[in-house]
């Protein structure tokens, strides 16, 4: 086993440990395999993001998501992860939407999901269930509508607040309705954690663990223009990457070490990464909120506090790598992007911790490969800031152009070698 340095367009550096692919390769049985094709991390929604319980009493909820790869069947993951009581779904349907920005579906594609043959399912508190397979032709990068009916609301709700997609809800049982005319709308997902497809035997998934920069803050609602969406489209355009799914488990406000908005990265790792079907790669882009939180809370924090935080974060990265390797998953590190001028950049020497973290991520012997997002969107004139053309305006999150640059900065060769 040896290490080779690859340089792509002079923009970023990738350290690839050659020979590791064989060690991490998973068996490929003949025929087809179940592979995660879409997914989202879960949390208890903040008050501003939760639906009033009465809105979910005798209610129909329709949500639209975009899958990654081709398949001949699909199955849906319904979750009650943070519920404290069992949650009964009286019916759940799947269909193709007429538009990604509307509640109308193509009724000819509408199918009822079953769970061990039953069209109703009760999900225990803290649990997740997977539907029976539904045979259908699943084209890559196609959107699907999942519609369910509840008689009683969740207690509490399990949600992904940063959907950047419109959800439709109304009272009554309208799971098979061609349109939900008059429905209320909200830009969050609820009780829905993943969709798998029955894919060709060489299919596999990349899971991306991150915060709001991966979740897609400042992207376009219903636009599917997160950096992970750009990467999924590039893989589909590559002959060798067509069967590689991209699963975004970014969580806005997330931390490596402490609970922010949602459980910390180590606490949610098993559910969001290891439990996904067909995972062969993990990419980690997380830590800005840990670093920024210290500076934001105490601009005069002593150097020892900064050093201790960096040390704990490096331990967390090492834990992520170890846990991925234990399950035959390659771990790819992504450097933290610059945030000069943001709310996290008030303390003197604010960028030193980020540079120390990025140096560790880039160093051989840690991650199996490295994607240098820092170099991809940093302003050469002020490397601790994003390029103005890539900045959404808060100097912390990229805009769609910046996310496009990030998605294009990931070498497809990482997943096809």
pLDDT tens-digit series, residues 151-163: 999 999 999 999 9
Q: To 5 degrees, how large is the angle CA 99–CA 101–CA 103?
A: 75
Q: How many CB atoms lie within 10 A of CB 312?
A: 13
**C-alpha to C-alpha distances, 125 to 117, 129, 284, 312, nearest whole angstrom:** 21, 11, 29, 33
The pLDDT value recorded for residue 260 is 82
Say whether pLDDT at 409 is over 70.
yes
Q: Which pLDDT score is estimated for 281?
A: 98
388, 340 contact by CB (below 8 A)? no
pLDDT beyond 50 at 20 = no
* Residue 115 main-chain phi, psi, to 5 deg: -130, 105
Number of Cβ within 10 Å of residue 36's Cβ equals 28
Name the residue with tokens 């350290």: 15
- Assess whether pLDDT exceeds 50 at residue 8: no
Binning pLDDT at 50, 70 and 90, where does residue 297 land?
low
Phi, psi of 165 (to 5 degrees): -145, 150
Q: Where are the beta strands (DSSP E) in 83-127?
A: 87-95, 111-112, 121-123
| Structure confidence by residue, pLDDT tens digits, 75-127 | 999 999 999 999 999 999 999 999 999 999 999 999 999 999 999 999 999 99
Quick one: DSSP state of residue 183?
A: -
| φ and ψ of 207, to 5 deg | -105, 130
pLDDT at 10 over 80: no
Mean pLDDT over the full length of the chain: 92
CB 19 within 8 A of CB 417: no
Answer whether residue 416 shows pLDDT above 90: no
User: CA-to-CA distance for 63 and 409, rounded, in angstroms?
Assistant: 30
Task: Give yes or no for residue 200 having a pLDDT over 50.
Answer: yes
What whole-number percentage of the chain has pLDDT above 70? 92
At which residue do the structure tokens 């939180």 appear?
293
What is the Cα–Cα distance from 111 to 144, expressed in whole angstroms? 11
d(CA 98, CA 178) in angstroms, rounded, equals: 9
pLDDT at 61 over 80: yes
How far CA 267 is from CA of 119, 258, 320, in Å, comes to 33, 9, 11
């Amino acid at each position: 086993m040896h290490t080779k340095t690859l340089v792509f367009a002079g923009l970023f550096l990738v350290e690839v440990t050659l020979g590791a692919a064989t060690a991490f390769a998973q068996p490929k049985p003949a025929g087809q395999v179940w592979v995660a094709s879409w997914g989202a991390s879960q949390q208890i929604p903040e008050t501003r993001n939760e639906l009033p319980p009465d809105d979910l009493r005798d209610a129909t909820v329709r949500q639209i998501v975009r899958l990654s790869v081709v398949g001949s069947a699909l199955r849906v993951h319904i979750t009650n992860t943070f519920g404290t009581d069992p949650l009964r779904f009286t019916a759940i349907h799947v269909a193709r939407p007429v538009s990604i920005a509307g509640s109308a579906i193509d009724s000819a594609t509408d199918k009822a999901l079953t769970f061990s043959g039953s069209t109703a399912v009760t999900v225990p508190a803290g649990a997740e269930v997977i539907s029976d397979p539904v045979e259908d032709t699943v084209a890559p990068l196609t959107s699907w509508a999942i519609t369910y009916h509840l008689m009683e609301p969740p207690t509490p709700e399990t949600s992904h607040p940063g959907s950047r997609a419109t959800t439709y809800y109304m009272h009554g049982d309208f799971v098979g309705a061609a349109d939900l005319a008059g429905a209320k709308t909200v830009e969050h997902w609820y009780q829905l954690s993943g969709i798998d497809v029955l894919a060709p035997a060489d299919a596999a998934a990349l899971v991306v663990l991150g915060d709001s920069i991966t979740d897609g803050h400042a992207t376009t609602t219903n636009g599917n223009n997160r950096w992970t969406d750009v990467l999924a489209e590039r893989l589909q355009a590559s002959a060798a990457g067509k069967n590689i799914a991209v699963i975004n488990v970014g969580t806005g406000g997330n931390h490596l070490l402490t609970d922010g908005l949602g459980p910390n990265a180590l606490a949610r790792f098993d559910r969001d990464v290891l439990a996904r079907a067909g995972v062969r790669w993990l990419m980690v882009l997380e830590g800005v909120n840990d670093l920024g939180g210290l500076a934001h809370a105490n601009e005069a924090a002593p150097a020892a506090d900064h050093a201790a935080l960096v040390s704990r974060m490096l331990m967390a990265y090492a834990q992520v790598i170890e846990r991925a390797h234990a399950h035959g998953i390659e771990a790819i590190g992504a450097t933290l992007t610059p945030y000069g001028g943001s709310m996290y950049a008030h303390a003197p020497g604010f960028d030193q911790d980020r540079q120390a973290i990025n140096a560790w991520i880039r160093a051989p012997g840690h991650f199996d490969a490295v994607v240098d997002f820092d170099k991809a969107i940093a302003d050469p004139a002020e490397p601790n800031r994003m390029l103005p053309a890539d900045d959404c305006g808060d100097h912390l999150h990229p805009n769609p152009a910046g996310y496009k640059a990030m998605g294009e900065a990931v070498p497809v060769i990482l997943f096809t070698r």
